[in-house]
Structure 1
Amino acid sequence: MACVCSPSLHFTGPFPSSQKTTKTSRLNPHCSQSLSTVRNEFPTMEEIVSSCKQQNLQMRLQTLGPFFRVTATNIATGNEVGRAEGVIRLWVDGTILHLDSIRLKKETLGMKRSIFGLGLFVGAVAIRHGYDHGCRKAELLAVNDSDVFHSKLVRFYSRIGFKSVYDVTGSSMGDVTHMLVWGGRGTRMDADIEELMIKWGAKFKNST
């Protein structure tokens, strides 16, 4: 997933419901809480959107078949300040949320967080959308356009729950497929969506 700081869409329907999906759990089977109790602690789409509004952000989601786009707008100015795009796709090990890009703009939002914090809010809407459509895993590419920015991206995604799985350097034949899919070099990172929902739950639930 490219995270880009660069120089609107309208949501075409109600946000996806927060209903549970029937997918195989990857949570710790020894957890003392039941899976239903744990999933009840996942932030709903409504809670995520409400939390975004407290940060002066209006979140909008548009879908076309498996493709989706999340747009963040500054409520005060009406200007677009962030966008995430991707696709929900079927794979051999289940349904995957493929995050193609997140593009962010440096505009004052009155937020408590940095521009990377804006990425978390935009990403949370995409992750919840994937969960509501049966995705078990999210995947992205932390693009390596510069060593300094790349290292910040990897640290940011690691903090929010993604794990590095492969460095796409372009130096081997094995990198060709990755570069065709992602369009560049960087670090391939994956995350278990249910683990992300647990990790982010308190943040979005406590702010509503």
Structure 2
Amino acid sequence: MLTLPEIEQYAASYGLVLRLQVKYYLNLWTFRIIIARPTENEAATLLGQMQGWAYGTRQGLQLDTLRVQGEYTGGVSTLLWAATFAWAIRHTPCRSARLLAINDETRQHMKLVRYFTRLGFQGKRTLQGNPIDLPLRLIWGGSGLIMEGDCNLGLRHCTHWLMNKK
């Protein structure tokens, strides 16, 4: 499986910059991973980012934001996932990750669930409009399906895809 420096080198081989920003406070990590395309005279063009947090348990990786934007972004999300999983495995006790497949619109929700399932995530709990779900909806930012996945399996999926792309 790839390590974070290897993933950074892989991105660089395509003319991309991958950077990880981590802050650590009292057994809580917050992180942001970005992928950008450098330009000669202007600021780099942001192509994608992943944000989340981790706390000191095996199930502590929480993925909050995945955003891919712009032209020619093929492979950007895979690089973001690979970097996230590689960092978590090496630098935190986290071995599984959770995320919310948000349900703002039914068709988009189905696409998200299919996409996350391909990465090895499985549905665990549906957040709806119930009062008992309110605290989790505030944390996750809406209703949807909470999904959980194994970081090692996710990294294997990403490594396989990246190595077969060349």
TM-score w.r.t. length of structure 2: 0.83
> Aligned-pair RMSD on alpha carbons?
2.1
The aligned counterpart of 2:47 is: 81
Q: How far does residue 90 in structure 1 lie from its aligned partner after superposition?
A: 2.8
Q: How many corresponding residue pairs?
A: 158
After TM superposition, give the deviation of residue 96 of structure 1 in Å. 1.5
In the alignment, structure 1 residue 136 sits paired with structure 2 residue 95 = yes
Long gaps (5+) in structure 2? none
Q: Deviations over 1:53-83 (max 9, x none)?
A: 3444311111111111111112357211211
Larger Rg: 1
For residues 193 and 72 of structure 1, do their structure 2 counterparts lie closer, same or farther at Cα, with a shift above 3 Å needed? same
Match of 1:119 in 2: 77
Structure 1 distance, partners of 2:47, 2:157, is: 25
2:63 pairs with one of 73, 76, 99 = 99
- Whichever residue aligns with residue 47 of structure 2, its letter is V
Q: Percent identity?
A: 27
Q: Could you say what secondary structure the match of 1:134 adopts?
A: coil
Deviation at 1:156, TM superposition (A): 0.6
Greater share of strand = 2
What SS does the corresponding residue of 1:108 show, helix, strand or coil?
coil
Work out whether residues 48 and 204 of structure 1, in 8 Å CA contact, stay in contact via their aligned partners in 2. no
TM-score of the pair, normalised by structure 1? 0.68
Q: 1:82 to 1:200 in 2, by over 3 A?
A: closer
Where 2:56 maps in the other structure, the secondary structure is strand
1:43–1:205 CA contact under 8 A, matched in 2: no
Q: Which residue of 1 aligns with 2:135?
A: 177
Tell me, what secondary structure is at the counterpart of 1:119?
helix
Map 1:9-24; keep pairs closer than 5 Å.
none
Cα gap change, 1:174 to 1:90, in 2 (>3 Å): farther
Go from structure 1 to structure 2 and tell me whether the alpha carbon gap of 1:140 and 1:55 turns closer, same or farther (over 3 Å shift).
farther
Check conservation: 1:88, 1:135, Cα contact below 8 A: yes
Give the Cα separation in 1 of the matches to 2:51 and 2:117. 20
In structure 1, list runs of 5 or more residues that go unmatched: 1-41
Task: Give the alignment of 1:34-45 within 5 angstroms.
Answer: 42-45=1-4
- Using CA pairs below 8 Å that are at least 6 residues apart, which structure has the higher relative contact order? 1
